[in-house]
Structure 1
Amino acid sequence: MPVLHYHPIIGGFEIFIKNICDRLKDKAEIFVVTGKVNNQPAFEQSAGLRIYRNASLFTLKDYSYSSYWYIFTMLPILFIKSWSLIKKEKIELLHAQGYFSGIICLLLKKLTGVPYLITIQSADFTVYHSEVKANFIVRWQDKLEKKVYREASICHAVSNDLVKHFANQGRTDAIMIPNGVETDIFKPIIWQEKNKIRNEIGIREKFVISCVSRLQEKNGTHDLISAIALLKKEGIAVECWIIGDGQERARLEKLVGELNIKDNIKFLGQILHEDAGKLVAATDLFVRPSLAEGFGIVYLEAFACGVPAIGTPVGGIPDFIVEGETGLICQVANPKDLAEKIKLLISNEELRNKIIANSFKLIKEKYSWDKIAEKIHNLYLENNQKNDQIKKWVSEFRVRNNWDSAKQRKVQEKEAKYIYNFFKKIALPNKNILEIGSGNGYLGAYLIELFSKNEKIKYTFSDLIPECVELCKKNTVLLKNDNIFYKVLDVYNPGNISGYNIIISTGYASAATYKEAVPILAKNIQSGAYLICDFVNHFSIFVFFQHPYNRLKQFIKYLLKKSDKKNYHFGKLGIKNYFGVYDLKLVKINSLRFRRNPFIAVFKKI
């Protein structure tokens, strides 16, 4: 894991990484590469976990804030150290933690071929980095972010809102696994201990609010301070403990002075993560009116402490704060509304107790780090199985590459003429064609030659196997067309393919129909686009006598309308009925012939 920060730095990513590493170090070898941190060893090892804190030019001294200068001087060193470790330790998977880590993993994948999984805990670059004003930087960042996500083997989001963000960036297959809560640190405390902590801090008021936050604009601490000032004007006495530090602290302290509420606000500064739980548990209410939030682990930590919480309807917060049940929701950037919600919980003890009980129960049922770590481990295993399958396909491709045979070329030439003749009759301007599973590239080459007689088209060859993509380049080099493109693409993880209006997937084993990939393609292609693929014919003698008993049983089920999901192998009607549920309308299908893949079907996305 090449990461910008690791424990004892505290934040959503750092807590996630530490808990995953601690729980999986006995099941896998895990290497964490990060920057130098003040008072922390350059190398640590515990069971299968090894931590290298040497990948930066400077040493990080402030645990709550790292400057852009620290990050950007760190990135090339982080890349070099990670590359060296991959070669030395034969790393099989990289786990990127966020956008910057994802850039490193993207470059490492290009250089070493090692795939990466990416986890994101935040989304909106313009909110999290509001100081970046230049539009060209924002546009460039957006393009790079899309590429980082597109190239990832697996995309993991910690909230449903971040799943939507992945989808907006072209990845509709993201997996949602939330963060967990360290219930050994964040737990209720008895009244005697609560009073002791309050006395040590020097409490003045009876009702105490806590806010654990890195002090930056997006966390909305300024709105909380303004709300406290409104409460004071109404004669409602509260005290607020702001736990955390950051670049906004001086501005916030100035705001407290201007509003004349120094007696009501205490800045406790950066507190060790291990001590934060007791401070939160000693308060009556947790509030963080965030402008943007990826997940919002601090709210769940308050739940675990038996403290009710108020949040905003942004990011992952609505995943766990249900209004009036597990917390209260206030409007974004509205101190007046926040003050009203605080008053409600001060005055309504019954509601407060209900929220405490429901939110505490939620933690026990859904946010266990042990369960979450197991799910992440399963993602690692899934990725390794996928890589093993790819290696097997590559091996088979190298051993049994008979795609250059005259017979195979003849079949591809016939298929190309069939596809060309169909689209010649349709008024479809600006044909942008993506071929999935291009193999040797001859089908595409024939199509490009046919279409080029009358019109210009864009054609993209793609295949899961890099060797196939290189073969396509070799076999189409004489075409001399500027609108030909090549890419490595996995049909189960195609990313954003909505820009193409014709998608082709035919061949010895059609990529589109192999192992139920059609639903994925149907979800990703744009409305009005055409999908062309072929199908194994269970009527053919070649196929039928391979497993006659199973074929006959499947066919009888089909006739009795009790067919399983493979009913598209039994003729035109089976194909039409099966794929209709994916908003694919069967437009044309060729006649039955006695060979393995006789059905070439043309669908249109409704």
Structure 2
Amino acid sequence: MRVLEVCQELPNRYYPQLGTFIKQSIDSIADQGIDLMVISPKAFVLPFSAFPYHNFSKLPRIEHTEKYDLHYPRYIYAVPKKYFYPITGISYAHFVSRYAIKNIKPEPDLIHAHFSYPDGYGMMGLAKRWKVPLVISALGTIERKVAYEGSHTSKKIIEAMNFADKILSVSEDLKLHITNLGIDERKVHVVPNGVDTAKFKSAGREHARKVLNLPQEKNIVLFIGALRKIKGVDYLIEAAKSFVDTNTDLYVVGRDDGLRKSLEKRAEELKIARSIKFTGPVNHEDIPLWISASDMLVLPSLSEGRPNVVLEALSCEVPVVATDVGGIPEIMTEGETGYLVPAKNPEKLSEKINKLLEDESRREKMGKFGRTSIIQRGLTWEAHAKKTVDIYSELI
């Protein structure tokens, strides 16, 4: 079986934090013995530091890895996104398809696009030309939010999902959102993401803090994720005024998508800036250490698919306080692996954080149960890959 995997957002030498969980998915599929080719389209950018993601211009057209060849074709990403995102899909379809026709030999038996837009939409024409099935992964915000906006982009997302032979949803909640758009339920399959339990395991709090040069004596509340509105970090800053003090710090780990300055300003206004540490992005290989060093992970998202960071925290024996959105309640067990709170509610968020801060034995008990539940439920990348390959086999 020869499969073309397509995803605009994959980690690379210049931006290693992009789409790490998608790379884990693709790698796990390769480990099942599938002959893969991978395309990760990148926007045309000028090679000047003033431009976002300017280092894309330095990427080669192709890299040879141990598991597959990785191609970086270019396409035009139309900005501002608010007005021209529909054009991006058209550009993607034209440039990426033209590249694939010329460079992907022999033709694959199946195409798997890892976002419904622009990946899925952009691959429709190529699937028609090659007369092969198209599988689309549905990961969260695009299908839950953008597809419902009634915009030109929304119509293209729905068009792609209607065209696809199979849709792989990361959660039952997301599957419901997809079928409510009128997509045939029979072709929507729930395939949860996994976690590498060998990599994501407790490194010991004291050891992890020593390696990362973090204070041993303080409580550490941890957020990991991009600083963007959908992640609800502004609500976490509001909640922090009720739990940070001389004994507790909040660490905000992740790339800035335009919010950091406003978050820092708000922390200053609340007079808690000294207790909130913005680290910026960190190497994904260090994430198990960061989680192990913390007393809890907090995820205050407004919308989610099935966030891997929650799986990773539980696998590292760290309890989680998260909003009850998307597929998060499908991962967590309320009161046993952590706590669920309503979105946009800093009061409830701080209440549950403080409840865990006050009881170390509760944190340890929840952490151990979290890892046990991950293993018992088989939430691994191997299980994810086997289910994905079974779906491929149905189509070929």
Q: What TM-score bracket applies, with the shorter chain setting the length?
A: 0.7 to 0.9
Per the TM alignment, residue 185 of structure 1 is displaced from its structure 2 partner at its CA by 3.1
Per the TM alignment, residue 106 of structure 1 is displaced from its structure 2 partner at its CA by 1.6
SS, match of residue 38 in structure 2: strand
Q: Determine which structure has greater relative contact order: mean sequence separation of CA pairs < 8 Å that are 6+ residues apart, divided by chain length.
A: 2
Per the TM alignment, residue 7 of structure 1 is displaced from its structure 2 partner at its CA by 2.1
Per the TM alignment, residue 125 of structure 1 is displaced from its structure 2 partner at its CA by 5.9
Assess, with a 3 A threshold, how the Cα gap between structure 1 residues 10 and 382 changes in structure 2: closer, same or farther: farther
Q: Which residue of 2 aligns with 1:82?
A: 100
Per the TM alignment, residue 275 of structure 1 is displaced from its structure 2 partner at its CA by 1.2
Instruction: Find the aligned partners of 1:323 and 1:12 in 2 and give their Cα distance.
Output: 30
Map 1:91-106 to 2 at 5 A: 91-99=108-116, 100-106=118-124
Q: Which residue of 1 aligns with 2:131?
A: 113
Q: Does 1:162 align with 2:174?
A: yes
Instruction: Find the aligned partners of 1:207 and 1:47 in 2 and give their Cα distance.
Output: 41
Contact 2:76 2:88 in 1 (8 A): no
Per the TM alignment, residue 43 of structure 1 is displaced from its structure 2 partner at its CA by 2.1
Instruction: Find the aligned partners of 1:83 and 1:247 in 2 and give their Cα distance.
Output: 37
Q: Does 1:363 align with 2:374?
A: yes
Map 1:86-485 to 2 at 5 A: 88-99=105-116, 100-123=118-141, 127=145, 138-169=150-181, 170-173=183-186, 174-197=188-211, 200-201=213-214, 203=215, 206-232=218-244, 237-245=247-255, 246-365=257-376, 366-384=378-396
Per the TM alignment, residue 380 of structure 1 is displaced from its structure 2 partner at its CA by 1.3
Contact 2:300 2:322 in 1 (8 A): yes
Contact 1:96 1:102 in 2 (8 A): yes
Q: Deviations over 1:487-546 (max 9, x none)?
A: xxxxxxxxxxxxxxxxxxxxxxxxxxxxxxxxxxxxxxxxxxxxxxxxxxxxxxxxxxxx
SS, match of residue 89 in structure 1: coil
SS, match of residue 90 in structure 1: coil
Instruction: Find the aligned partners of 1:282 and 1:21 in 2 and give their Cα distance.
Output: 28
Q: Which residue of 2 aligns with 1:595?
A: none
Contact 1:179 1:369 in 2 (8 A): yes
Contact 1:181 1:301 in 2 (8 A): yes
What is the letter of the counterpart of residue 77 of structure 1?
F
TM-score, with normalisation over the residues of structure 2?
0.83
TM-score, with normalisation over the residues of structure 1?
0.56
Q: Deviations over 1:242-278 (max 9, x none)?
A: 1101222222222222222111111111111111111
Map 1:576-595 to 2 at 5 A: none
Per the TM alignment, residue 229 of structure 1 is displaced from its structure 2 partner at its CA by 1.3
5+ residue gaps, structure 1, are 59-66, 130-134, 385-606
Assess, with a 3 A threshold, how the Cα gap between structure 1 residues 118 and 168 changes in structure 2: closer, same or farther: same
Instruction: Find the aligned partners of 1:107 and 1:119 in 2 and give their Cα distance.
Output: 17
Assess, with a 3 A threshold, how the Cα gap between structure 1 residues 322 and 192 changes in structure 2: closer, same or farther: closer
What is the letter of the counterpart of residue 283 of structure 2?
L
Instruction: Find the aligned partners of 1:360 and 1:293 in 2 and give their Cα distance.
Output: 21
Q: Pairwise CA RMSD of aligned residues?
A: 2.8
Per the TM alignment, residue 141 of structure 1 is displaced from its structure 2 partner at its CA by 3.0
SS, match of residue 230 in structure 1: coil
Per the TM alignment, residue 5 of structure 1 is displaced from its structure 2 partner at its CA by 1.5
5+ residue gaps, structure 2, are 43-55, 78-83
Instruction: Find the aligned partners of 2:344 and 2:266 in 1 and give their Cα distance.
Output: 16
SS, match of residue 328 in structure 1: strand
Per the TM alignment, residue 40 of structure 1 is displaced from its structure 2 partner at its CA by 5.1
Figure out how many residues of one structure are paired with residues of the other and give that number: 365
Per the TM alignment, residue 215 of structure 1 is displaced from its structure 2 partner at its CA by 0.9
Contact 1:98 1:118 in 2 (8 A): yes
Per the TM alignment, residue 288 of structure 1 is displaced from its structure 2 partner at its CA by 1.0
Assess, with a 3 A threshold, how the Cα gap between structure 1 residues 19 and 252 changes in structure 2: closer, same or farther: same
Instruction: Find the aligned partners of 1:57 and 1:145 in 2 and give their Cα distance.
Output: 18
Per the TM alignment, residue 336 of structure 1 is displaced from its structure 2 partner at its CA by 0.8
> Which moves more between the two structures, 366-375 or 266-275?
366-375
Percent of pairs with identical residues? 27
Counterpart pick for 2:37 among 28, 31, 36: 31
